[in-house]
């Protein structure tokens, strides 16, 4: 179990006032909540990495799908880490209000520096009473009670947005990076997908997010099988929804996995990705070198990695060392697209 942080300690202390209620935990990142709270009936983590951390800390606890009516039904206390995205909080609160017990208490905590008035406003759309606890351990919790009748529930997700210039409809769940938009870096990579190797058939969109690149590759390579991979359950669901909305679900599949875990070495013709990767909506570049190394092993000899990255980052030598010969496809002051080829 990872050492509990200030948010964990605050939530454990505040939850003591509701002892005896059927308890559900959402998005535990250290395992401290599931292992430390009495009477936990179940848990859900969007991130597969977090889920594995929780299972190591509490082996008897079984993860659930999301949104899962069975997980939340009858829950009198839901303890959650506050997401930074208001859209993610909206989706979470809507599911709790719709599925949990009428007297449910949603206890959602975060670091004080990450809290905003907008979080109270979102919770108030789903609950009749919202207040904040006193701050301690550099953290604070928002407490929501009295679910509102008729408030928007989980059936309203994923949300969608039409992008006429790209002839693309993007669907996304609340916690997915870029939401229903198209990230600026992704746009740069989209613009050069017509230059991808046309003989590539086994393709992975690494860190697929809302599925924009998966759809773009499927359109550029009609004979390709495109696999989107992401640690986030919301991202996987969003990619599949975006693929279906754009008529390429027969080409695109998506799985929740850590990096290229489960992909056979030397089996891929092409990998596309848009690092840096994100933990929820938080920037996390720490995994990028490792993932480039995974790509180098997963590509067949002569296979290629096409990736877009912030131009100031020192990725060229990293790509050459971990994948193979690397050239710049296109570049502007903000973003660089590179093509890396595995030797052989």
pLDDT at 330: 97
DSSP-derived 3-state class of residue 251:
coil
Predicted pLDDT of residue 282: 47
> CB under 8 Å to 130, separation ≥6 — which residues?
120, 123, 124, 142, 143, 144, 145
Cα distances (angstroms) measured from residue 198 to each of 40, 167, 201, 220, 261: 51, 21, 8, 8, 26
Fold (CATH) for 158-341 = Rossmann fold (3.40.50)
Alpha-carbon distance of 21 to 37, in angstroms, equals: 11
**Kind plus residue range of the DSSP H or E element containing 303:** strand 299-310
Q: What is the pLDDT of residue 68?
A: 82
Q: Provide, rounded to the nearest whole percent, the portion of the chain with pLDDT above 70.
A: 97
Rg (CA), the chain: 21
Q: Do the bridges between strand 202-206 and strand 168-172 make them parallel or antiparallel, or are there none, so unpaired? A: unpaired
- Do domains 6-155 and 158-341 share one topology? The answer is yes
Q: Name the DSSP class of 23.
A: E
Q: What is the spatial distance between Cα 36 and Cα 38, in angstroms, rounded to a whole number?
A: 7
Q: What is the pLDDT of residue 275?
A: 82
Residues in the chain: 344
Write the CA distances from 291 to 64, 175, 177, integer angstroms.
27, 22, 18
pLDDT of the residue at 285: 55
pLDDT tens column, 57-71: 999 998 998 878 999
Closest CA to 117 of 94, 96, 142: 142
Q: pLDDT for 145-180, tens place per residue? A: 999 998 788 889 999 999 999 999 999 999 999 999
In tens, the pLDDT along 80-115 reads 999 989 999 999 999 999 999 999 999 999 999 999
How confident is the chain (344 residues) per 10-residue block, as mean pLDDT?
Answer: 88 96 96 95 95 95 87 96 95 96 97 95 97 95 95 89 97 94 96 97 97 98 98 96 98 96 97 72 63 96 97 94 97 96 94
Considering the four listed CATH numbers 3.40.50.2020, 3.40.50.150, 3.20.20.70, 3.60.40.10, the one that applies to the domain covering 6-155 is: 3.40.50.150
Q: Buried b / exposed e across 215-248, counting CB within 10 Å, b at 16+? A: bbbbbbbeebbbbbbbbbbbbbbbbbbbbbbbeb
Backbone φ and ψ for 284, nearest 5 degrees, come out as: -145, 100
| 302 vs 323: CA distance, rounded Å | 10
Indicate the domain borders of the chain: 6-155, 158-341
- Token digits of residue 322: 């971990």
Alpha carbon of 15 to those of 3, 109, 140, 182, 195: distances in Å?
A: 19, 11, 13, 39, 55
Question: What pLDDT score does 286 carry?
Answer: 61
């Amino acid at each position: 179990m990872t050492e509990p942080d200030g948010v964990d300690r605050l939530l454990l202390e505040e939850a003591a006032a509701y002892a005896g209620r059927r308890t559900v935990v959402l998005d535990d990142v250290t395992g401290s909540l599931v292992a430390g709270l009495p009477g936990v009936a179940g848990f859900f983590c969007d991130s597969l990495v977090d889920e594995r951390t929780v299972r190591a800390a509490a082996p008897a606890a079984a993860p659930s799908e999301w949104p899962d009516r069975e997980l939340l039904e009858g829950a009198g206390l839901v303890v959650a880490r506050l997401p930074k995205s208001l859209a993610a909080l909206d989706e979470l609160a809507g599911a709790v209000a719709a599925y949990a017990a009428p007297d449910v208490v949603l206890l959602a905590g975060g670091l004080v520096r990450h809290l905003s008035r907008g979080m109270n406003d979102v919770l108030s759309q789903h609950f009749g009473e919202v207040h904040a606890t006193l701050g301690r351990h550099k953290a604070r919790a928002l407490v929501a009670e009295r679910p509102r009748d008729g408030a928007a529930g989980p059936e309203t997700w994923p949300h969608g947005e039409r992008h006429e210039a790209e002839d693309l409809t993007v669907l996304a769940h609340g916690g997915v990076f870029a939401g229903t938009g198209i990230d600026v870096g992704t746009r740069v990579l989209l613009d050069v997908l017509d230059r991808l190797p046309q003989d590539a058939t086994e393709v992975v969109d690494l860190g697929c997010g809302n599925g924009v690149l998966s759809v773009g590759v499927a359109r550029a390579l009609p004979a390709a099988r495109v696999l989107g991979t992401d640690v986030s359950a919301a991202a996987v669901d969003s990619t599949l929804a975006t693929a279906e909305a754009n008529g390429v679900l027969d080409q695109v599949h998506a799985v929740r996995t850590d990096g290229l875990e489960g992909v056979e070495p030397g089996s891929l013709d092409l990998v596309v990705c848009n690092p840096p990767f994100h933990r929820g909506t938080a920037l996390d570049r720490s995994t990028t070198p490792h993932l480039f190394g995974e790509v180098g092993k997963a590509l067949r000899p002569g296979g290629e990695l096409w990736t877009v990255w912030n131009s100031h980052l020192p990725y060229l030598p990293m790509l050459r060392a971990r994948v193979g010969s690397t050239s710049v496809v296109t570049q502007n002051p903000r973003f660089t697209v590179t093509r890396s080829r595995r030797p052989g």
